[in-house]
Amino acid sequence: MPFSDLPARLHEIRERVDRAVARGGHRQRVAIVAVTKTHGPEAVRAAWDAGIRDVGENKVQEALAKMEAVDVPARWHLIGHLQRNKVKQIDGFALVHSVDSARLADAVHAHGIQRGRAVDALLQVNVSGEGTKGGYPPDELRAEAERLATLPGIVVRGVMTMAPFDAPESVLRTVFAGARAARAVLAEVGHPATELSMGMSNDYEIAVEEGATMVRLGTLLFGARASDAPPQDQMTDATFRLTALDVRRYDFGTAFRGYDKTRVDQFREQVAEEIERLTRANQELDEKARNFLEQLRAFRERDRALNEALIGAQKLREDTQAQAEREAELLRREAQLEAERTVAAARRDAEREIERLRGEARRIEDEIASLDRVHRTYIAQLRLQAERQLAELAASEAAALPPVPQRARLAATGGGEDDGRAAADATQKTTE
Instruction: Report how far residue 96's alpha carbon sits from residue 130's, in angstroms, rounded to the nearest whole number.
Output: 21
Instruction: Report how far residue 47's alpha carbon sits from residue 62's, in angstroms, rounded to the nearest whole number.
Output: 17
- Is residue 255 scored above 90 in pLDDT? no
- Is residue 3 scored above 90 in pLDDT? no
Lowest mean pLDDT among 145-159, 211-225, 319-333, 413-427: 413-427
Report how far apart, in Å, the C-alpha atoms of 199 and of each of 163, 207, 215 are: 8, 5, 5
* pLDDT at res. 305: 86
- pLDDT band at residue 299 under the 50/70/90 scheme: confident
Percent of the chain with pLDDT over 90: 48
**Residue 279: CA count within 13 A, CB half-sphere:** 6
pTM for this prediction: 0.55
Angle between helices 406-431 and 261-400 (to 10 degrees): 160
pLDDT tens sequence across 352-382: 999 998 888 899 988 999 988 989 999 999 9
- pLDDT band at residue 293 under the 50/70/90 scheme: confident
Residue type, 123: L
For the chain, the structural domain boundaries read 6-229, 337-401+420-431
* pLDDT at res. 61: 92
* pLDDT at res. 407: 54
- Is residue 167 scored above 60 in pLDDT? yes
First to last CA, the chain: 146
Average pLDDT, the chain: 84
- Is residue 288 scored above 60 in pLDDT? yes
Lowest mean pLDDT among 141-150, 168-177, 208-217, 360-369: 360-369
Q: Average pLDDT in the 420-432 region?
A: 50
- Between 212 and 412, name the one with better pLDDT: 212
Superfamily of domain 6-229: Alanine racemase (3.20.20.10)
Residue type, 200: M
Instruction: Report how far residue 122's alpha carbon sits from residue 158's, in angstroms, rounded to the nearest whole number.
Output: 5
CB 220 within 8 A of CB 37: no
* pLDDT at res. 216: 97
For residue 13, what are the contacts with CB-CB under 8 A and spacing of at least 6?
A: 32, 204, 217, 220, 221
CB 34 within 8 A of CB 43: yes
